[in-house]
Structures are given as structure tokens and as C-alpha cells.
Structure 1
Amino acid sequence: MTVEIDDRQRDEILKKAARRIAREVRIPGFRPGKAPYRLILNRFGEEAIQEEAMDHLTQTIYKRAIKEAEVEPYAPATMEEIEWNPLVMQIKVPTDPVTELGDYGAMRLETEAVEVSDDEVARQLEQLAERYITFEPVERAAQWGDMVSITISEKDIASGDMLDEDREMEITLAERDDDAPELDLHTPLTGMSEDEEKTFTQTFSETYPEKKYAGKEIEFHVLVTAVKAKEEVELDDDLATMVGDFDTLDELKEKLREDIAEQKQYEIDGGLIEEAMEKLVAEAKTIKWPSAMEEDELDNAIKNQEFKLEQSGLNLKAMLSAEQKTLEEYREETREKVRENLKYSLALSKLVELEGLTVDGDEIAQQVEWMIAMSGGSQEARDAYTSSEGARVVANNILTDKARRRLLAIVKGEAEEEADEAEAEEAVVEEEAVVEEE
């Protein structure tokens, strides 16, 4: 923005600046603020007066120019250049982002039909049946698949220290993969019977994740207190009644088929939304934002990274030191991701505006209560989510979800159908309201 000030107004600005200087500095023969302009100019110099005048220019002239230009600054402006004769200011004003989408209403994407095979239902049924498997005591040696109850003690052979003593536990014996952890209690227990004892040793590498074992040779002493065999569950109507409100196995299978189809549709829709978002951004006519917004988002991204590292017991400074990077280098590496996120968020915000999507207080309240419940219902969570900032974040999340679902409906060609259904529901509500009034 270029702001030009006429000579008369410029002279008045400089004289007021000189009077302010005169009030702050004692000048012999003159009361505070009453020394003539020429005397102040000769004594302090033109640059000192101009510097004092800058505050007036930014506080008064700048605000007036912004108002007259009908500009809404995103952040405080900066003075890029100023000339005093004549008085001309070049001001950089960060403005709100500008987004102009393409013809997104005409976007269409192909979607695949959801199919669920009998094998998928059978696998799901078997996994469900495993939850109802029981183990019954047997009088024989333990085999793979059995559950073995033991009392175990552990000793560090080198130091003689007991790491654990007479701890009771249950283990379901399973054959081990090549990449299984070094600790193996399964193989030694196979073939043991109730009341049988065994002592064996295992050596662990220096890199073993459990510190009490790392780099040590450990002696284990186990006493088997019970051997239990798996009782398989029959895939029949009895299983269906155990699982839920089903009378027959066929009813249960049908519900499993519906659940699998719903999950598949959810995954397909998720992929479609991501593809639609890419298309929305790629076909947008304009998406631009002020540099101040980009810097703010960079600050937030780095703060979020610091928080995540702290949650893991680390810190950003140590991470950068290990990677031999400066904070500025890391900031520039993060910039491209921030720019990508800005494109998507601004495009989605414009979609919310154009589609007239809104969120009401009831929706926010319901979501807040759900999030509090998911957080364990603590007072700390309640205070966080019911604060003005918490409610704002929740509202934004709801709007984002609505926008993504609307975009999905558009690319699937279902948006008009949804709009008709919404209008029909609204008409019913209005009709019911009229009936109540009568």
C-alpha cells in the first residue's frame, strides 16, 4: 500500500513530533513543549524529529489509510519504505487469505462396488468364536495351544541377584516365529505336567528392550501348577445367542457381512475423500495467503512437534543436535508441509462457506460430552473442552468433517439427493411446528 501525505499535513506531523521532544527534554528559557520548531530542529536534527513522527504515522495515518482502503489486515503491517519530501510511505499489509475454487460441483470420481465374500464372513466368524473359547484342566503334558499356569523365579547368574520370585502367571503356548523376542518361556514349558519343576537359563543381547535382561544370562525356575486344554466353540446357533441378540447362526453371519461391508465402504470413502481433496486443490483458481499466516502455522507446527517429543521424554533441541541441524534448517524443512496443509485447509474452509455449512450449539455440546467421556471424564478434560478455545476447536472439527462428507457426496454424485432429503426433513419440522402452534 502506498500512502501519500500532502506537505501541509507533513509539516504539522513534524511540528507535533518536535513538541513531544521538547516536553521530554529541558531546554533553557522555554517551558516544556514550548520551544520553537526551528530550535528543536537545530539542536536534535531532522532525523530525530522524523523518528519521533514515525509513531504518529503508524498509529494514526496508517489506521486511517487502512480504513479508507477497506482492507482487513491479517496481522500488523510493516513499513517497507518512507520518503519525507514529499512524504510517501510504502506499507506492507498482510491481508486475509484469498481462495477461489474451480467448478467443484461438477467433480466426479469413480468408486468401486463393495463386495463381501463367504470366506471373509467365515474368517470373521472364527475370530469372533475365539473370544468364547474356554480352557479346561487336563491330566497330561502341556502341548502347543494349551494354557499353562506357572510360578516363576528369575535370577541374574553373574550377580546372584533375584530379579523376580514366585510370581504367578498363565501362558498360552504358541510356536515362535524367527523374529520373536529372545525371551522364550513357551518352548521349555512344552512337555511339562502339573507339579513338575524345571530350571533353565537364557542369554540376552545388549540391545534387548527390557533393561533387567539386557546383556545378562538369566536363570529361570518354573513350577507348573496347572495344564489346561482349549475347548473349541462350535459354530452354531448357540454361539449366535452367546454373541448377541441373534436366534440363528445365519442371522449372525448376515450381521457380520453387513459390518464387513460397512468397514470396506468406510475405507473406500476415505480414499475417495483424499482423492477429492487433491482434485479440489489442484483445480482451484486461486489459493494464496499472507506470509504472516505461513509463519504462524510454522510456529504452531514446531510447537506441536516439541509437545510430541516431550510426551516421549525427548526434546527438539536434542533431536536437532543428533541430526546436526539448526532450528532454522528444521523450520525450512517443515515449511513445504505447512504450505501443503494451508492449501488444503483454505480450500476446505472455502467449501464450508460456499456450501453454507454450519454447526450449532447442540452439535458442539454433544461432541464435547463425547470427547470428555473418551478422555475418562476427568475434570481437567471437561475444563479443556468446555473452554472457549476448546469449543472453537470442536466446532472447527465438526465443520471439517461436514465439509469432507459434503465433498464425498459431490464426487459420488449424491449431493443433490442429500439436499433434497434435507429440504424434506426441514419441511416436516416446520409443519410439525405449525401444528403445535395451532
Structure 2
Amino acid sequence: MVACYTHFGTHRVCEVGAHPVGVTIERLPRSLVALEIEVDDERVEANMEKAARRLSQRYKIPGFRPGKAPRAVLERTLGKSALVQEALETLLPDLYSETIAAESIDAIAQPSFELKSMEPLVVSATVPVRPTIDIKDYTALRAPRQTVDRSEEQIEAALTNLRRRYATLEPVERAVQWGDTVRADVTVHVDGQVEEPHVEEGAEFAVLEGTTVSLPGFLDRLIGLERGGPYTIEFELPSDFVASDLAGKTAHYTVTIDEVKEEILPDLDDEFAKSLGDEDLQTADQVRERIEANVLAQAEAAAESAYQEEVLDLLIASSEIDYPEVLVDSEIERMIDQESNHASHTPEQMQVWLDQIGRTAEEVRDELRPRADTAVKRALVLGELASKESVEVDESEVDAEIDRMLDQFFGPGAGMENDQREQFRQMFDTPDSRSQTRHQLQTQATLGRLVEIASEEGEGGEEAPRARGTRRRRRSGEGDAEAEASDEAGTSEPVENAEAEAETK
């Protein structure tokens, strides 16, 4: 049992068992709490005795059997600091746990400790606590939607990309042009590299604008060269090149072009339409109509994603958010794990990945910090909005989402007799996986609700229609509010990183 008595200001004396503890509390910015804990001599002495017994068992002291060396001998042999360190190993966690329980401090991560003095024993702890979020009058947020359309250039580009998938390559006797495919022997070396030049014989690659082969700038310098060689090509790499050790250095190429091939696109006619193998595409006009619909759908999806980010950032800008930096640090580590394809699981794999991208761990973290900070803020305001709007996801929605994911792997209608499908279901159906799926669905539904609020055109406080796929519990005081909504799940996708691992628990 813990009892606390306030002496003055924020200084309190808490009786933990038989040992009074003096605690000074200071609320700091960024959701931190500073504790200064003073422990009475009796408790310190008891822990020092226990520490001495443990050390006498652990270390062989000349002239004494294990566990029998007196404390004074241990202090002379190992040093008093060793006993203090051993005592603090158990005393600090106990002090911390007792203090945050007595003071109702809602810690969300491990504290940092500092030993202020030994006589008396005074320890300070800096504790990250639950964020505070005030999303203000979020129902007043408004943002106009932009008209979505598709241009003829977009449609023609999509048609060209479709035809390119069925293109043939024909050898030509002319200089290299954009869109060609080249077969060549290539040797490359960059100033400052200690390894031997990289040599590749018979390399075949497409010369496409906006793409990179080997190093940025190489393709540009192939334009106008004819079959033959060897050609000497030299150019300076960009100062912001991803491999920082090569940035600004000169690249040296020796290239012999063996063959230049021109891409021959099929005509967009009825014969081409039938060759696509789709019963609904039998004419060139039907292909164009399908492409137009796809381009419009992509434009609408891009516009919706941009609108989601806009209204979410508006919500952040109008909110007051205080959160500890440890949440951003955790999100950075999650991003590193994702971008490195889990290479961060071991120091050796992490170093290999860092060498590949030409960055130090500190540089990577600094580069990711702004994105991580935004992700944390988005997750926090969405979590608060979900609470305000009582956005919930029931188990049937989680089951439906698992089925949807399985259909992506195995196709719709794959029966229960499909053993592999059932193995995957078991993977998705664990408590942790279901919790993650539930959180993603809640984030998606909450973002949908925010979009509806921001795009509402009604006046006088008229409520915007509820997001599909959400449930809102009736709260006391809502009067004749509508019954729970249980429409089919919506299609809006959550904003990238909005469900960062900053979720408050």
C-alpha cells in the first residue's frame, strides 16, 4: 500500500511499506515528467546489504567461501561503487514503479535515470508520458475538393504503355535514340573507387527517358552514338548522389555498342484488341474506353489521396498536440526496418544495408525524422478523432478484411478445401494480426469520416453523412441520434504512415 502526503508545492512524501520516499514532480514540455526521488537511509542500507550478499556469491573473494565475504571486505576488494551499482540495479526499478503508481503517472516508455547524490540517496528520472491531444472544433474544418479530370495526353500515354507491353524489337543501322534497346560491352569506373572497374559484356538495356541504367547521366550520353566503338564517356556524378562517397566524382565509361534495336509498337486496331484476351475488348474503341476509365479512376484515386493528406494536415494545424520524442524515435526505427527490408534486425545486416545506400545510421535517422514526426502527429490526431466520433470496427469487419486479403492471394471463391489458403488464414487470424487489421480499418474509417466532415457543404451544424464501414455508438446526451451505421466498408485508403506505431495504448 502506498500513501502520499503533500508538504509544499509538488514535493510529496510517500510511505512505501516502511520506507518514506520524498518525491518532487515537474511537468516538462514534450509530454515529459521529471521526478526527483529521495530515499531514506534505512532503505538504502537494506539494499546495500542485499547487494553485498549477491556480490559475495558472484565473485570469488580470497579467504572466504562463496557468499561469506563481509560487506567491508567486498567494498575494499571491489570498491564501494560496485556495491552502489549493484544496489541500484534493483532499487531503481522498485523506486520508479512505486513512484509512478503513487503519483498516477501514465508512463508510455522507459525513463532515463540520473544519480544525483548518495548521501542522501537522490535519483532523478525523466519519464515519457501519454500524449495530450486537443483537436479543437474539428467539425468546422472545411476544404474544397478539386475537380478531377483526365487529359488526352494521359490517355495517349497509357495507350502507348499498353502497346509497349506487346512491342517487338527490330535491329536498325542508325544512331541510338530514346526508346531504343541497346546491346553493348560496358566498362565503368568512378574516381576514388579502390575496386577494379566493373565490366559487363553483352549487356542489353532500354534507353528510356527518365530512367537510370548504371549511373545517372549514362543513358543521356548514349544518344547519337552508332553501332561500334569503343567510345569513351566521362561525366561528373550529381552532388546529391545517393552514394555519398561517389557524389561529385567523375565516372569513366568505355562502351562498345554491338546492336541498336528499335521498338515497334503494334497498331491500335481491332486485331490488337482481340489479342489482349479479354472478352469485353473486341475493338480498338473498347480498348480506348477501358483506358479512359482506368486513367480517370487513377486520377480520382490520386486526388482522393491528396485530399486526405490536405484535410489531415488541416486537422493537425488546428490541433494542440504534445507528445514525447520517443514516439518519433520508435517510428524512425519502424521506417528503417521497413525500408531496409528488416536488415535492422542485426547490426551486421544493418551495416551492409547502410553501405549499400552510402549513408550512416545517423544520416538515415536525420533524413527520416521529418516524415516520422508527421506520421506520429497524423496517428495521434486520427486516434483522438476516432475516440470523439466513436469510430469502431467489429469482428465481422476484421473477418471480411482477412477474406479480402486471402482473395488477393488465391482469388475469390477459393474454397475451404484449399490447404494453403487456410494456412495463410491462420497467419492473419492471430490476436496480433487481427489487432493490426482492426487498427488499419479504424484508421481508414476515421480518415473517411474526416474527409466527409471537411467536404460537407451543409450549414447550421448539419451533420455530415457517416463514413461507410464505421460504427458510432450512441453516447449519453445524444438524444435522438441515429442508430448505429453498419453500411458496407468504404474504399478510401488510409494516408501513408497514418497508422504509425505511435498509437497511444
TM tier relative to shorter chain: 0.5 to 0.7
Secondary structure, counterpart of 1:80 in structure 2? strand
Q: When the two structures are superposed, what TM-score results if normalisation uses the length of structure 2?
A: 0.53
Return the index of the structure with the highest Cα Rg: 1
Q: Return closer, same or farther for 1:7/1:217 CA change in 2, 3 Å cut-off.
A: closer
1:30 positional shift: 8.8
1:393 matched to 2:436: yes
1:315-354 alignment to 2 at 5 Å? 316-320=353-357, 322=358, 325-354=359-388
In the alignment, structure 1 residue 280 sits paired with structure 2 residue 315: yes
8 A contact 1:21–1:33 mirrored in 2: no
Give the equivalent residue in structure 2 for 1:271: 306
**How far apart, in 1, do the equivalents of 2:364 and 2:295 lie?**
43
**Taking structure 1 as reference, are residues 64 and 428 closer, same or farther at Cα in structure 2, changes over 3 Å only?**
closer
Aligned equivalent of 1:13: 47
Shift of 1:107: 0.8
* Residues 347-380 of structure 1: CA deviation (Å, up to 9, x unaligned): 2222222221111111111111111221346557
Q: Which amino acid is the alignment partner of residue 381 of structure 2?
A: A
Provide the residue aligned with 2:455 in structure 1: 412
- CA distance 1:11–1:387, shift in 2 (3 Å): same
CA offset at residue 416 of structure 1? Answer: 1.5
More strand per residue: 2
For 1:316, the aligned partner's letter is W
How far apart, in 1, do the equivalents of 2:103 and 2:117 lie? 21
Tell me the SS of whatever aligns to 1:48. helix
User: 1:26 touches 1:32 (CA, 8 Å); kept in 2?
Assistant: no
1:59-91: CA deviation from partner (whole Å, max 9, x where unpaired): 322221122122233232232233111111101
The alignment's TM-score, normalised by the length of structure 1, stands at 0.60
Cα distance in 1, alignment partners of residues 259 and 312 from structure 2 = 58
Query: Amino acid of the residue matched to residue 105 of structure 2?
Result: V
Displacement after TM superposition at 1:230 (Å):
7.5
Quote the residue 1:138 is aligned against: none
Mapping of 1:46-61 within 5 angstroms? Answer: 46-61=80-95
Contact 2:337/2:343 (<8 A) preserved: no
How many angstroms does 1:409 deviate by?
Answer: 0.8
What CA distance in whole angstroms lies between the structure 2 residues aligned with 1:428 and 1:40? 70
Measured against aligned partners, the alpha-carbon deviations of 1:33-60 in whole angstroms (never above 9, x if no partner) come to 584x556555654323212211221232
8 Å Cα contact 1:4-1:89 kept in structure 2: yes
SS in 1 for 2:392: coil
Distance 2:76 2:227 in 1: 92
Q: Which residue matches 1:140?
A: none
CA distance in 2, matches of 1:109, 1:66: 43
- Equivalent residues of 1:203, 1:217 under 8 A apart: yes
Distance 2:77 2:388 in 1: 61
Partner of 1:143: none
How far is 1:182 from its partner? 3.8
Residue identity matched to 1:418: P
Q: Distance in 2 between matches of 1:31 and 1:217?
A: 79
Deviation at 1:315, TM superposition (A): 5.9
> Does 2:36 correspond to 1:2?
yes
Q: CA deviation at 1:92?
A: 2.2
For the residue of structure 1 that corresponds to 2:465, the secondary structure is helix
CA RMSD, Structure 1 to Structure 2 (Å) = 5.2
- Identity in percent: 19
Residues paired across the two proteins, number: 344
Which deviations, in whole Å up to 9, do the C-alpha atoms of 1:99-152 show, x marking residues without a partner? 332322211112346689xx98xx98xx99xx9xxxxxxxxxxxxxxx99xxxx
Q: 1:203 to 1:77 in 2, by over 3 A?
A: same
Deviation at 1:272, TM superposition (A): 2.2
Supply the AA of the counterpart residue of 1:179: W
Q: Aligned residue for 1:211?
A: none
Shift, 1:331, TM fit: 2.3
Letter in 2 for 1:274: E
* Higher normalized helix content (fraction of residues): 1
Match of 1:375 among 409, 421, 437: 409
- Does residue 331 of structure 2 align to residue 297 of structure 1? yes
1:385 shift after superposition: 2.6
Amino acid at match of 1:411: A
